[in-house]
Amino acid sequence: MTPIPLVTHGECPHCGQPLLGLATARCSHCGRSLVPHFESYPSVASRLAEMAPGWTVAMLLDWVRPRPAQLAWVHQNQQWPLLDHFVSNGLWEAWQRWERTRRTRGVSLQLDEVHLDSVHLVGLGEWQDWAQVRIHGHRASFEWSLHSHLALSGSTSPAPFTELWWLQPTGAPIHAAEIRCPSCGGEAAFNQRACGYCGIGVVRPLGPWQLARVQVLQEGLGETAWGERGTEGWEWVMENLTC
Ligand SMILES: [Zn+2]
Ligand SMILES: [Zn+2]
């Protein structure tokens, strides 16, 4: 009888046991985190390239890095449709609804001074196409009164936050990662309405990845009432994304 070879994706750097899946960057034997080792497994690279041809782990992490600050900008400026480029409609529309609800109460959620400490790939769907990244950084995150302009809760100076982001490849080509003028091809910033070179209105194509779900693991300094509200406000589970 021919032995059936055990399919593994690499070895745990802590206990040496084989890694049997890619869905979570945690060893199923010793329970320890495989981050950042996970990112260098050849099978991680090949699975990522399979779901999003041409993409490497480094490219994906580079693509993610500017997004938290862009999200904060949209929150400050209420330009929700700009998020079409990298956030699923269902998710940004839910954020917009929550912000509208806050505003009917005379408050607004502000995100500011975003600084990223690390972005790591922490999971890849093996049967469905999704990548999970963990973002750790600092930001000011608070609710403030639209009338008194005073912060009501949260932290007005940068405090630690950790989020898990589920990203789905859209099939859009890699060059769609950059926002360019449809007329002269000049590069445009995420929040730019008109081309800085020729003045033509900038079209924001669907980007190569869409953020489908965000889970806040940490916001601020711990288990405050704000942390609970923040989680409720930011987490939105996409029903057809099972992982
Ligand atoms: Zn292990
Ligand atoms: Zn132009």
CATH for 185: 3.10.450.240
* Percent above pLDDT 70 for the chain: 87
Residue 6's pLDDT is what? 58
Task: Tell me if 165 is assigned to some domain.
Answer: yes
Task: Tell me if 136 is assigned to some domain.
Answer: yes
> Which residues 6+ apart lie within 8 Å of 236 measured at CB?
90, 91, 94, 95, 213, 214
Task: Tell me if 3 is assigned to some domain.
Answer: no
Measure 14 CA to ligand 2 centroid, in angstroms.
52
From the CA of 180, the nearest ligand is: 2
Residue 95's pLDDT is what? 93
Task: Tell me if 12 is assigned to some domain.
Answer: no
When divided into structural domains, the chain yields a total of 1
Measure 11 CA to ligand 1 centroid, in angstroms.
8
From the CA of 31, the nearest ligand is: 1
Task: Tell me if 127 is assigned to some domain.
Answer: yes
Q: Which residue has the higher pLDDT, 176 or 222?
A: 176
Measure 44 CA to ligand 2 centroid, in angstroms.
38
- pTM of the predicted model, to two decimals? 0.84
Measure 167 CA to ligand 2 centroid, in angstroms.
30
Look up the domain containing 177 and give its range. Answer: 51-234
Task: Tell me if 135 is assigned to some domain.
Answer: yes
User: What radius of gyration do the chain's Cα atoms show?
Assistant: 20
Task: Tell me if 43 is assigned to some domain.
Answer: no
| Tens digit of each residue's pLDDT (9 = 90 or more) over 163-189 | 999 999 999 888 767 788 878 888 888
Record the tokens describing residue 240, joined without a space.
């057809």
| Tens digit of each residue's pLDDT (9 = 90 or more) over 59-89 | 999 999 999 999 999 998 999 989 999 999 9
Please give the Cα distance from 3 to 47 (Å, whole number). Answer: 25
Q: Fill in the amino acid letter for 125.
A: G
Contact 125, 243 (CB under 8 A): yes
Residues, Cβ < 5 Å to ion ligand 2: 181, 183-184, 186, 195, 197-198, 200
Measure 17 CA to ligand 1 centroid, in angstroms.
6
Q: Fill in the amino acid letter for 64.
A: V
Task: Tell me if 44 is assigned to some domain.
Answer: no
